[in-house]
């Protein structure tokens, strides 16, 4: 038996074994760590506003579901779709309009909750999670309570919107193998939908 034939036979056996185990072969997927470039704020985000020498105005603010905050003296401030620097400037201008002389305003973002990752299927606590920079699929599944006993751990699918084309990309990710260090990491992105299917046996 030639070496080439033995290699082909081994590959065929691996494919048949994977099929028998119910695990589809993993697809090629991006393995680079992802960092959010969009710094705009949205509903659910938490940030601290500091106004120099004005302790009663310096506090934490949660962005409401309507995308606004209520700020002392100036009332409602629209936040969604604006960067922290833009919100700083708006608060500064409105405070300077009859409330403070040359106000100094700074914003420190504490939590970004407007960017979500969804995890469904055979996990113990399916639902949506808050995305954070560098989040991996193993972390996402862990935050969703981990796999159930019937999870197909190496057949997890990730559906991701492609902003350039408006379509979707779908990946098959071997999460169990990643957790064991036997496969490259998969980094999730805001808006990803992770589905853990049920195994057949």
Q: Model's pTM, two decimal places?
A: 0.63
Q: Note the pLDDT tens digit of each residue in 4-22.
A: 544 344 334 434 444 445 5
* pLDDT tier, 36 (very low <50, low <70, confident <90, very high otherwise): low
CA angle, residues 122, 127, 130, in degrees to nearest 5: 125
Domains of the chain, CATH where assigned: 27-36+115-196 (3.10.560.10), 46-111 (3.30.1950.10)
Q: How many CB atoms lie within 10 A of CB 192?
A: 23
Residue with token string 């469904």? 120
Q: Note the pLDDT tens digit of each residue in 166-185.
A: 788 999 999 999 999 999 99
Please state, in angstroms and rounded to a whole number, the distance separating the CA atoms of residues 143 and 37.
24
Please state, in angstroms and rounded to a whole number, the distance separating the CA atoms of residues 42 and 95.
22
């Amino acid at each position: 038996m030639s070496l080439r034939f033995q290699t082909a036979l081994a590959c065929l056996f691996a494919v048949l074994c994977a099929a028998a185990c119910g695990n589809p072969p993993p697809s090629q997927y991006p393995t680079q760590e992802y960092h959010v470039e969009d710094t705009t704020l949205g509903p659910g985000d938490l940030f601290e506003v500091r106004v120099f020498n004005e302790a009663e105005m310096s506090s934490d603010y949660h962005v409401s579901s309507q995308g606004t905050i209520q700020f002392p003296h100036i009332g409602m401030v629209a936040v969604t779709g604006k960067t922290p620097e833009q919100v700083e400037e708006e608060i500064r201008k409105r405070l300077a309009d009859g409330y403070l002389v040359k106000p100094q305003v700074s914003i420190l973002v504490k939590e970004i909750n407007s960017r979500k990752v969804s995890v469904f299927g055979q996990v113990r606590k399916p639902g949506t999670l808050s995305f954070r920079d560098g989040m991996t699929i193993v972390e996402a599944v862990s935050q969703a309570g981990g796999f159930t006993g019937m999870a197909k751990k190496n057949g997890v699918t990730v559906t991701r919107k492609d902003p350039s084309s408006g379509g979707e990309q779908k990946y098959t990710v071997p999460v169990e193998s990643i957790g064991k260090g036997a496969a490259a990491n998969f980094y999730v992105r805001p808006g990803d939908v992770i589905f853990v299917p049920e195994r057949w046996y």
